Chain A
Amino acid sequence: MARFILQRLMAALVTIWIATIAVTILIHLVPGDPVRIMYGSFQTTPEELEAIRVRLGLDQPIWRQYLMYLGRLLHGDFGNSIVGDQPVIDILMTRFPSTLALTLSSLFIAVVVGMSLGFLAAYKRGTWVDVSAMVLAIVGVSMPHFWLGLLLLFLFALQLQWLPVAGGDWRSLILPALTLGLANAAVLARLTRSAMIDIFDQDFVRTAHAKGLPKSIVLYRHALRSGLVPVVSMLGLQFAYLMGGAIVVENVFAWNGVGRLAIEAVFARDYPLIQGFILFFAIIVALASVVIDVAYAFLDPRIRYS
């Protein structure tokens, strides 16, 4: 097991390492002189720009820049933002808890709603329950989150005034989490259904049935556990999608997370912040996938050796 975890960790490190290269290259792909693009606001003189260039090492060859960047990263220094000149890592860290809260609560909603719907559909395969669950799921998959969000906002916050709108307390998490959770529940419902159908069709479940075991025991002991395996294997990806989806949803609800920050940074062409965000995102997603892979390996020991 230790070897497996180590192996997954190494893979995550490779991902993060590639991300560091990608963000270093990013600023050089922007047409024009990076220093002028980033720091050339009004009233900056050419001398000041030169000073910044030297201070940030942007006058060095790109490989040196990369090494310098890596060196700073290892000290936890992600650079300073252009807007307000503040440490990027501080800005990201103050906003990240909000994003994590949103992502985890929508993951919870997605898993509970999606898996029950999918399980129910598989169990009642071919009946109207199955058909309506799957119609619901495909409509859910097709619905833009931001539209669902606006509809919920319009209905519950503006018309009915059931929920606070201006942030501040946990109740303002309800609508964004529902929006993001429901959109992803649809995906999980489809996944769970097809996984469960495969299981129901397998011999061991049929045999258990034939042996006359009570249905609930068959379901619980055999089908559910094996059916969960492929679904759990998708959770890592789901988490990444939720993190990505959070970018849009945070903007709909003005949720104060890293996603809203990222969009603000793109508008402000705050490249150090954009670089920091991409790297941060890669690190979070890579670590989350390690955690989920390990959980998956506990659930299904076969995976460790493949």
Chain B
Amino acid sequence: MVHGTTAELADDLATNGSARSRGFWRALLASPSGMIGLAIVGLLVFSALAAPLLAPFDPLRMAAGPRLDPPSAAHWMGTDDFGRDVLSRIIYGARLTLQIGVIAVGISLTCGLLLGLVAGYSSGWTERILMRLVDVLFSFTEIVIALACLAIFGVGLTNAMIAIGIASIPFYARVTHSVVLVEKGKPYFEAAIAAGAGHGRLIFLHLLPNVIPTLIVIGTLGVSTAVLAAAGLSFLGLGAQPPQPEWGFMLSSSRDLISRAPWMMIFPGLAIAITVLGFNLLGDGVREALDPRQRQR
């Protein structure tokens, strides 16, 4: 729910978003944050894909070990109050986390891009009204919009993903809009208009390609926000429902047992923090790789 990392970048990116570097991947791997981020995200994707191979137990199997068993050789991260293996649940949890990231960001990216493009391209009253609306929604903050959505749809992980996706639309719309404004002011765009390019051509050939690099950056950072938000909602009981091995939900069920079984609180928290860190670093890395000016700092 902290949109800080992304918020602080918005304007910055708007002016530099179009910068493209030939050696993107080389640049990404050259930056320490990019590399660490990529490694963490890679690990997450790998555990999500290979969960059945990696997990020593079925994540839903009760009495896989004694109840509330501390970490041991048999259960590296201990067991929970149903005797389920915490490590296996964390590994399977990666699937849900990835799903949350992709779906939530997918929704906000698509809708935000569309809104921002329309507003930025159309100008005049349409723009003013749309952006005013976006600004208002933005000031509500994401968690309140997400709460409102959940109050409407009802609780659950899928609904939480959608709610988070909707809640972030204003942010993506804002960024897209500002990038579009910058692009529209550039000489090549005016030249294209002068050459008689149609709306479709202007939008898809000129604006869109220049918006995309920026959106890749904020999308990557946005995954971290979405993961954090979904974990928060699940923690509050509004997201994942039992027996889903969702990390935020696991944290919330650890609360009653915090002194009996601190491992139930420590590992899911670490998993969320590392994942979010991974996407934040990767986002920073991508930004640096796309924008040489940033790299010099």
Contact = CB atoms under 8 A, between A and B. Distances in A.
Given A247-B143, A266-B147, A241 B277 contact: no
Interface stretch (B50-58, B83-91, B92-100, B254-262): B254-262
Interface stretch (A59-67, A83-91, A187-195, A294-302): A187-195
A103 interface: no
A209 B155 CA distance: 59
Contact of B8 (A191, A245, A265, A285): A191
A107 interface: no
Given A266-B238, A271-B151, A241 B1 contact: yes
B269 A144 contact: yes
Contacts of B258: 150, 153-154, 158
B147 A262 contact: yes
Interface of A: 14-15, 18-19, 22, 26, 29-30, 138-139, 141-147, 150-151, 153-154, 158-159, 183-184, 186-188, 190-191, 194, 197, 234, 237, 240-241, 243-245, 247-248, 251, 262-263, 265-267, 269, 271, 274, 278, 281-282, 285-286, 289
B4 A26 contact: no
A245 B280 CA distance: 19
A14 B135 CA distance: 11
A282 B140 contact: yes
B136 A18 contact: yes
B65 interface: no
Interface residues of B, number: 51
B152 A26 contact: yes
Q: Is the interface of A mostly helix, strand, loop or mixed?
A: helix
Interface in B224-267: 224, 228, 231-232, 235-238, 248, 251, 254-255, 258-259, 262, 265
A262 B274 CA distance: 29
Nearest to A148: B269
Contacts of A143: 273, 276
A150 B269 contact: yes
B107 interface: no
Contacts of B255: 150
Contacts of A244: 1, 141-144
Nearest to A237: B7
B12 to A, nearest CB: 8
Contacts of A247: 143-144, 147
B131 to A, nearest CB: 12
